Amino acid sequence: MAGSDENNPGLARPAHFQGGLRMGGGKFVPEIGHNRRALSNINMNLVGAAPYPCRANKKGLLEKQTTCDKIPPIPLHRPITRKFAADMATKQKQQQQPCLEEARPIPSLTSATSEDCTVLIDVDDYKGTHDFPVPIFVKHTEAILDDIDQMEEVEMEDITLDPVTDIDSCDSKNPLAVVDYIEDIYAHYRKSESSSCVSLTYMEQQFDINQKMRAILIDWLIEVHYKFELMDETLFLTVNLIDRFLAQQTIVRKKLQLVGVTAMLLACKYEEVSVPVVEDLILISDKAYTRKEILEMVLFFPPFDHDQLDDFYFLNQCFFPWSQERLMLNTLQFNMSVPTPYVFMKRFLKVAQSDKKLELLSFFMIELCLVEYEMLRFPPSLLAAAAIYTSQCTLNRTRQWTKTSEWHANYTEFQLLECSKSMVALHQKAGTGKLTGVYRKYSTLKFGYSAKSEPAIFLLGIKL
């Protein structure tokens, strides 16, 4: 082929020159004329004969091959595409496994014209059907494909977003979890939580009490709640009843503690199985109120013990024909079923996949908020979400609010920052001052010494 016209396109020669010898590539070679099929006349493509060599240029494209149709095809360097990379990876895995199938037949060549016998086949088909050595560029291609696979894996990891986790799938067989209705229940809580909120300015209508007196009352009730070993629901409902009552009724300061005791008794009747008796409430009040005074403000709300029931009827018939025992519940319009921060706390803690340490610290944060009148400006759901977010930041020493938490709480991290900063400030001064009931409660072993955790001060430096 060194002397062919095709490989030497610039060589001019008379058209009538036939036969004889001519100069080509430094040798005298016989001229075969213009018929490129002449090689078939000298039996170069017999069965078992060596293939006629064919060169490949730098781009991997083959020059036209001048042998007949039966010469084994030479593989082409195919462009690296995603489909080709996937096919190569699949075939490599299949080759590593023991082959139980019969050998595949040699693929039939595509039909070629008399002037062009170039055939395109897959590299793996060529390797599987022939014993010829694999060209170097094929091995190079396989190395590139491995790099491409690794690059695609890295890209997928980079663009993967934090998914929203299905937190209720583990409770699908638990009837108490009401998985089918849980989202509807909390959607209702979010819509109705405004009914449990009070105006931040309600204390302005009170002429004999102030914010500091309210804080003293709540701090004392937290200690009473702890001493009676009542449920958490009872404490949050007690505080809610007090604020809603004071927002509509003006009272004198000497009756403020009576309002707190009455609210706790009503909350116990609503939430607890075993209700404290009136005598216990009198004792914890340091006998500041009599049995009659407590019963004046309480509506008959089962269960009552027999002594209380007798006292109720006696007071109702003899001393209070227009009795005041209905005062608190009439003021609240008998609305005891309101969403407090507790119901949102339980849900958001499940979303955060909390452990006991995070749970205790979150309740410490939100009980600090119960004492502070200024924290009434935040709705219950926001208080619960911010308490958990602040606790996560306190324990992990870094900001942490997942997409799952954001989706279930309906609050972004930015929306929680203002409330969270207030909680950090309360945490800093919890052990100082006169009102330390919450701090002392959560500084015990039972509550995991949560109050002694280092406050997440770094949150205070974040700009809103």
Which residue's entry shows tokens 């979400």?
Answer: 385
Domain boundary among 111, 134, 159: 159
DSSP assignment of 18-70: -SSEEEETTEEEE--TT-TTGGGGGTTT-TTPPPPP--B-TTSPBPPP-S-TT
Same domain, 312 and 375: no
322 is a domain residue: yes
Same domain, 236 and 304: yes
CB 263, CB 245: distance < 8 Å: yes
132 is a domain residue: yes
Same domain, 349 and 428: yes
d(C-alpha 367, C-alpha 13), whole Å: 104
DSSP assignment of 227-282: HHT--HHHHHHHHHHHHHHHTT----GGGHHHHHHHHHHHHHHHH-SSPPPHHHHH
390 is a domain residue: yes
155: which residues sit within 8 A by CB, 6+ positions away? Answer: none
Same domain, 319 and 441: no
Same domain, 204 and 292: yes
Domain count across the chain: 3
d(C-alpha 146, C-alpha 139), whole Å: 11
428 is a domain residue: yes
225 is a domain residue: yes
Which residue's entry shows tokens 């560029």?
Answer: 137
Q: Which two tokens stand for residue 158?
A: 């980079």
Same domain, 312 and 388: no
Same domain, 327 and 360: no
Domain boundary among 264, 296, 331: 331
Same domain, 207 and 326: yes
Q: Which domain holds residue 148?
A: 82-95+103-159
CATH code of residue 258: 1.10.472.10
Helix (H/G/I), strand (E/B), else coil: 326: coil
pLDDT score, position 262: 86
Q: Which two tokens stand for residue 146?
A: 């491995």
**pLDDT tens-digit profile, the chain (464 residues):** 444 444 444 444 444 444 444 444 444 444 444 444 444 444 444 444 445 444 444 444 444 444 444 455 555 555 556 666 677 777 776 666 554 444 444 444 444 444 444 444 454 554 444 454 545 444 455 555 566 556 555 444 444 456 788 888 889 889 988 999 999 999 999 999 998 899 999 999 999 999 999 999 999 999 999 999 999 999 999 999 999 999 999 989 988 988 898 899 889 989 998 888 878 878 887 777 777 776 666 543 344 444 544 444 444 433 333 334 468 888 888 888 999 999 999 999 999 999 999 999 999 999 999 999 999 999 999 999 999 999 999 999 888 899 999 999 999 999 999 999 999 999 999 999 889 999 999 999 999 999 999 999 999 988 86
Domain boundary among 159, 175, 207: 159
Q: Which two tokens stand for residue 378?
A: 């935040």
Q: Quote the crossing angle between the two packed helices 211-228 and 232-246, to the nearest 10°.
A: 150
Same domain, 303 and 348: no
d(C-alpha 17, C-alpha 12), whole Å: 11
User: pTM value?
Assistant: 0.61
CB 29, CB 21: distance < 8 Å: yes
Which residue's entry shows tokens 């944060």?
Answer: 365
Helix (H/G/I), strand (E/B), else coil: 116: strand
Q: For every residue of 296-318, which 3-state class applies, written as one string?
A: HCCCCCCCCCHHHHHHHHHHHHH
Same domain, 242 and 286: yes
Q: DSSP strand E in 42-157: where?
A: none
59: burial class by Cβ within 10 Å (0-12, 13-18, 19+)? exposed
pLDDT score, position 12: 46
CB 447, CB 438: distance < 8 Å: no
DSSP at 319:
I
218 is a domain residue: yes
pLDDT score, position 146: 60
pLDDT score, position 265: 86
Helix (H/G/I), strand (E/B), else coil: 118: coil
Same domain, 234 and 262: yes
d(C-alpha 129, C-alpha 121), whole Å: 11
CB 384, CB 370: distance < 8 Å: no
Same domain, 296 and 384: no
Torsions phi, psi for 278 (to 5 deg): -60, -35
